[in-house]
């Protein structure tokens, strides 16, 4: 039929795509849409269409015959509005490294027709070890029930619990008997130790049973403890999840859990990590996350990229909608694009002297891929290439306001981050000094409680040569929260 997507559109490719790009697009789609992993209505037919497109386009003779039948190519509508802001207009012919900041901003086009509420395939993975007893367990169960009640008829919901082993509390399904499902959640009782991998794996498998294109596929892990001996298996599972388009987010409760581990799980899938110190804050964090997933315009945003020799990507940070450090490796998973809040990422590049011998410098190039919630075909990747001209004279210029604001908002978080690195390196005096500076800035913004915590941690580092488990998390996630609250955006 003439109104059906053509083979290039199905694979999200331009007609000038190379053989390598065709092969890569097909294998990416095949991993996501294979019938063995996708049983939702329409997905098998879509996979067969993808397979047929590849069989033609991967054969030069068949491709040439097919191309001869096509009408003139129409440029597709933009899937994302993209804005790029550089910290400097140009680089200079110098014999020392130069620093460049780049702010990337992605948002739905003004004329976008994304669904107001996309379909969800959501699994809650709940820690019910002995340490969760009391208010923590009560609030987690009540919030899980509240989320279940908010699911739409087309949504798929599941619950897994874990301690020493994992148990399926609610199998992945569309809600049919809320009373029975609520009773199963109410019956959860704290017991045993904390072994996250068993719960995470079972939750992932619940999602994979119904994973499909153009829906939000997400695991939310809730825990108050550390796991031992299975962290590598958890990280490997997170990488598999990322390949399948499954996001993982984590909520850590109290002070005993491993924040670096939870950050790593989340960042490798484009998810987020969250922290609460009090049981009464659990509900707010989980419902905020649920509401954000329910307002997704694009399920995920990823950048496949390469960086020229002599260029270092030293830092990448998602400023909003949820603040978090990003992986520096390709592909970089940025997370979902939501309807109302632009996705903003700040990158820091270091350019070595040998790279400014020409008239321009390429900092970064690749392509941005998004999975839109209202598309039945693969969305065509958006090329991205970050380039700066090189001149003979150093220009005196003030960075754009957007860059200054982003750096200002990030400065508080990076101060505590630097202190952590210095503690690891054994430079306790410098770490303490950075925390004193952080406290000064926090006080100037009226963040007295967080400032006091920073001062106490500076003293603790001098005495015990380490952050305390609770104080370190309060500073880390407290300064991270200031990034999305809008506080801390004044000049530092």
E strand spans, 97-236: 98-107, 120-127, 156-162, 166-173, 216-223
Res 208 pLDDT > 90: yes
Residue 74 in any domain: the answer is: no
Q: Which helix (H) or strand (E) holds 371?
A: strand 360-372
Place of tokens 């997370």: 335
255 shares its domain with 364? no
Residue 334 in any domain: the answer is: yes
212 shares its domain with 130? yes
Contact 263, 273 (CB under 8 A): yes
353 shares its domain with 479? no
> Which pLDDT band holds residue 382 (cuts at 50, 70, 90)?
confident
Measured at the CA of 248, the angle between CA 207 and CA 51, to 5 degrees, comes to 50
Residue 254 in any domain: the answer is: yes
139 shares its domain with 275? yes
Residue 73 in any domain: the answer is: no
Q: How far apart are CA 141 and CA 161, in angstroms?
A: 11
* Domain boundary pick from 364, 391, 418: 391
Residue 216 in any domain: the answer is: yes
Res 1 pLDDT > 50: no
Helix, coil or strand: residue 340: coil
18 shares its domain with 32? yes
Q: Print the domain residue range for 16.
A: 7-67
Q: What pLDDT does residue 383 have? A: 84
Here the CATH number for the domain that contains residue 85 is: 2.60.40.3670
| Most confident stretch, 58-62, 332-336, 422-426 | 422-426
447 shares its domain with 374? no
Res 73 pLDDT > 90: no
Residue 265 in any domain: the answer is: yes
23 shares its domain with 56? yes
Q: How far apart are CA 53 and CA 12, in angstroms?
A: 11
Q: How far apart are CA 225 and CA 219, in angstroms?
A: 18
Chain mean pLDDT for the chain: 89
Contact 269, 333 (CB under 8 A): yes
Residue 91 in any domain: the answer is: yes
At 54, phi and psi to the nearest 5? -65, -40
Q: What is the dihedral of CA 459, 464, 466, 471, to 10 degrees?
A: -50
224 shares its domain with 241? yes
Q: What pLDDT does residue 183 have? A: 95
Give the residue, 366 or 207, on which the prediction is more confident: 207
Lowest mean pLDDT among 65-69, 188-192, 283-287, 421-425: 65-69
Q: How far apart are CA 255 and CA 249, in angstroms?
A: 18
Structural domains in the chain (count): 4
Q: Quick one: tokens of 245? A: 């388009």
38 shares its domain with 134? no
* Domain boundary pick from 391, 422, 449: 391
> Which pLDDT band holds residue 3 (cuts at 50, 70, 90)?
low
Could you give the percent of the chain with pLDDT greater than 70?
Answer: 91
Could you give the percent of the chain with pLDDT greater than 90?
Answer: 64
CA neighbor of 270 nearest in space, from 240, 295, 245 = 245
> Which pLDDT band holds residue 369 (cuts at 50, 70, 90)?
confident
> Which pLDDT band holds residue 490 (cuts at 50, 70, 90)?
very low
The mean pLDDT value for 467-478 works out to 96
> Which pLDDT band holds residue 2 (cuts at 50, 70, 90)?
very low
> Which pLDDT band holds residue 211 (cuts at 50, 70, 90)?
confident
At 306, phi and psi to the nearest 5? -140, 150
Q: Where are the alpha helices (DSSP H) in 224-334?
A: 231-243, 259-267, 282-293
Residue 492 in any domain: the answer is: no
Res 491 pLDDT > 60: no
187 shares its domain with 313? no
57 shares its domain with 140? no
Res 209 pLDDT > 50: yes
Here the CATH number for the domain that contains residue 233 is: 3.40.50.410
198 shares its domain with 152? yes
Helix, coil or strand: residue 295: coil
């Amino acid at each position: 039929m003439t109104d059906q997507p053509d083979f290039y559109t199905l694979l999200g490719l331009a007609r000038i795509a190379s053989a390598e790009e065709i092969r890569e697009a097909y294998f990416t789609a095949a991993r996501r849409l294979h019938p063995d992993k996708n049983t939702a209505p329409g997905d098998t037919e879509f996979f067969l269409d993808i397979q047929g497109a590849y069989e033609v386009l991967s054969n030069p003779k068949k491709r040439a015959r097919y191309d001869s039948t096509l009408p003139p190519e129409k440029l597709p509508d933009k899937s994302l509005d993209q804005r790029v802001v550089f910290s400097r207009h140009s680089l200079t012919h110098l014999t020392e490294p130069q620093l460049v900041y780049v702010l990337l901003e992605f948002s739905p086009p003004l004329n976008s027709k994304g669904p107001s509420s996309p379909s969800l395939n959501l699994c809650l993975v709940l820690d019910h070890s002995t340490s969760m007893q009391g208010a923590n367990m009560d609030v987690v169960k009540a919030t899980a029930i509240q989320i279940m009640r908010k699911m739409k008829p087309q949504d798929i919901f599941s619950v897994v619990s874990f301690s020493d082993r994992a148990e399926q509390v609610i199998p992945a399904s569309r809600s049919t008997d809320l009373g029975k499902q609520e009773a199963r959640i109410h019956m959860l009782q704290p017991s045993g130790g904390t072994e996250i991998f068993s719960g995470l794996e079972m939750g992932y498998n619940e999602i994979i049973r119904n994973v499909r294109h153009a829906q939000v596929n997400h695991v939310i892990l809730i825990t108050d403890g550390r796991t031992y001996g299975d962290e590598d298996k958890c990280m490997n599972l997170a990488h598999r999840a990322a390949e399948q388009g499954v996001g993982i987010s984590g909520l850590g409760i109290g002070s005993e859990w491993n924040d670096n581990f939870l950050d790593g799980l989340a960042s490798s899938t484009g998810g987020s990590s969250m922290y609460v110190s009090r049981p009464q804050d659990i509900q707010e964090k989980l419902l905020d996350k649920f509401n954000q997933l329910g307002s997704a315009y694009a399920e995920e945003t990823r950048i496949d990229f390469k960086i020229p020799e002599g260029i270092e990507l030293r830092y990448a940070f998602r400023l909003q909608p949820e603040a978090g450090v990003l992986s520096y490796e390709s592909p970089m998973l940025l997370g979902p694009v939501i309807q109302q809040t632009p996705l903003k990422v700040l990158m820091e590049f270091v350019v070595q002297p040998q790279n400014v011998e020409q008239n321009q410098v390429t900092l970064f190039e690749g392509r941005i891929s998004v999975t839109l919630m209202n598309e039945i075909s693969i969305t065509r990747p958006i090329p991205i290439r970050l380039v700066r001209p090189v001149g003979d004279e150093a220009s005196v210029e003030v960075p754009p306001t957007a860059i200054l604001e982003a750096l200002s908002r990030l400065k508080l978080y990076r101060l505590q981050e630097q202190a952590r690195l210095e503690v690891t390196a054994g430079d306790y005096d410098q770490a303490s000094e950075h925390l004193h500076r952080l406290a000064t800035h926090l006080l100037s913004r009226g963040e007295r409680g967080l400032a006091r915590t920073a001062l106490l941690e500076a003293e603790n580092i001098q005495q015990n040569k380490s952050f305390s488990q609770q104080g370190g998390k309060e500073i880390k996630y407290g300064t991270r929260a200031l990034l999305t609250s809008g506080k801390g955006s004044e000049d530092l």
